């Protein structure tokens, strides 16, 4: 029946296998891209200094233009153009002939300030990205970084081999009789010639490996999603 245990497990299994495939695929792409030195950009101290110099120049321009706006507002306040706005027909004529040019200049300067502030935000993000890349380059030179780099190459080759074998199995309609963990334990036991309950321990080891894959893949996925939300967020979004 539709409410039997077999039907329920089969439907839950479809969802579980699909989620595992998505998480494993994400990890197979994200992990080598994160740890392999092949994907690192060549960033030097000169590049970082040049970008920081551009950022400082942009900030100086923003400060100078905001200072001009503040000085213009103070001058207008001293002349009484802020609180004592002219009224009547002659006041309208006077406001058109004297104040319009100044207000247009202030609006133009404010637009330039807004554009420079947006440029400064982009330069700051790019500078932070260069510093992060520089730290990744320094990390890749350590023993742990070289170890992860080797694992990245190893699992990249393993991933390509698995895709190739999965394609052959689909084309020729082949079904595997044993999983890789059980097969690896059987080869090890036969090679060493020891007494070992392969069927019992293969289930536990497979369960532990699946748990490790789920935890690490979800962690990597959440970290990447957090970076994505930081990238698209603004001061107006939560």
| Number of compact structural domains in the chain | 1
Q: Which residues have a Cβ under 8 Å from the Cβ of 225 and sit 6 or more positions away?
A: none
Which domain covers residue 74, as residue numbers? Answer: 43-81+93-141
The mean pLDDT value for 78-86 works out to 59
Q: Which residue has the higher pLDDT, 199 or 236?
A: 199
Strand, coil or helix: 183: helix
120 lies in a domain? yes
132 lies in a domain? yes
pLDDT of residue 236: 65
Q: From residue 188, how far is each of 178, 182, 191, 199, 207 by CA, in Å?
A: 15, 10, 5, 14, 19
pLDDT of residue 58: 92
The torsion angles phi and psi of 76, rounded to 5 degrees, stand at -65, -35
Give the whole-angstrom CA distance, residue 204 versus residue 215. Answer: 17
- 105 has pLDDT over 90: no
pLDDT of residue 31: 77
Q: Which residues have a Cβ under 8 Å from the Cβ of 16 and sit 6 or more positions away?
A: none
Tokens representing residue 167 in the block: 């394609």
Tokens representing residue 185 in the block: 């334990």
Give residue 91's pLDDT band: very low, low, confident or very high (50, 70, 90). Answer: low
30 lies in a domain? no
182-191 contacts at long range (C-beta below 8 A, 24 or more positions apart): 182/206
Reported as a single tens digit per residue, the pLDDT across 4-57 is 788 888 888 888 888 878 877 787 787 788 778 888 888 888 889 999 999 999
Neighbours of 70 (CB within 10 A): 10
pLDDT of residue 99: 47
72 lies in a domain? yes
153 lies in a domain? no
Share of the chain above pLDDT 70, in %: 87
Tokens representing residue 139 in the block: 């990390």
Share of the chain above pLDDT 90, in %: 10
Q: Residues 62, 123: contact at Cβ < 8 Å?
A: no
131 lies in a domain? yes
The mean pLDDT value for 188-197 works out to 76
218 lies in a domain? no
Give residue 95's pLDDT band: very low, low, confident or very high (50, 70, 90). Answer: low
92-106, 124-138, 174-188, 211-225: the lowest-pLDDT one: 92-106
| DSSP state for residue 157 in the 8-state scheme | H
- 134 has pLDDT over 60: yes
Rounded mean pLDDT of the chain? 80
233 lies in a domain? no
Reported as a single tens digit per residue, the pLDDT across 199-222 is 777 788 888 888 887 787 787 778
Q: Which residue has the higher pLDDT, 16 or 102?
A: 16
Q: Residues 149, 37: contact at Cβ < 8 Å?
A: yes
- 3 has pLDDT over 80: no
- 60 has pLDDT over 90: yes
pLDDT of residue 14: 87
CA 62 to chain centre: 29
- The secondary structure of 85-120 as a DSSP string is ---HHHHHHHHHHHHHHHHHHHHHHHHHHHHHHHHH
């Amino acid at each position: 029946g539709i409410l039997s245990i077999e039907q329920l497990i089969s439907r839950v299994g479809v969802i579980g296998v699909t989620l595992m495939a998505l998480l494993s695929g994400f990890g197979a792409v994200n992990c080598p891209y994160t740890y392999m030195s092949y994907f690192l950009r060549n960033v030097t101290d000169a590049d970082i200094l040049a970008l920081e110099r551009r950022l400082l120049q942009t900030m100086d321009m923003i400060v100078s233009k905001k200072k001009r706006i503040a000085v213009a507002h103070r001058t207008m306040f001293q002349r009484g153009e802020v609180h004592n706005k002219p009224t009547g027909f002659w006041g309208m004529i006077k406001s058109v002939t004297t104040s319009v040019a100044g207000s247009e200049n202030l609006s133009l300067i404010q637009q330039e300030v807004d554009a420079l502030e947006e440029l400064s935000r982009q330069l700051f993000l790019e500078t932070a990205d260069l510093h992060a890349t520089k730290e990744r380059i320094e990390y890749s030179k350590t023993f742990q970084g070289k170890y992860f780099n080797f694992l990245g190459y190893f699992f990249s080759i393993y991933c390509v081999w698995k895709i190739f074998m999965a394609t052959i199995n689909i084309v020729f309609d082949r079904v595997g009789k044993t999983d890789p963990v059980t097969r690896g334990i059987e080869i090890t036991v036969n090679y060493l010639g020891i007494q070992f309950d392969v069927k019992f321990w293969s289930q536990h080891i497979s369960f532990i490996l699946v748990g490790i894959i789920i935890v690490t893949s979800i962690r990597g996925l959440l970290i990447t999603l957090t970076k994505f939300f930081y990238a698209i967020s603004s001061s107006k979004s939560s």
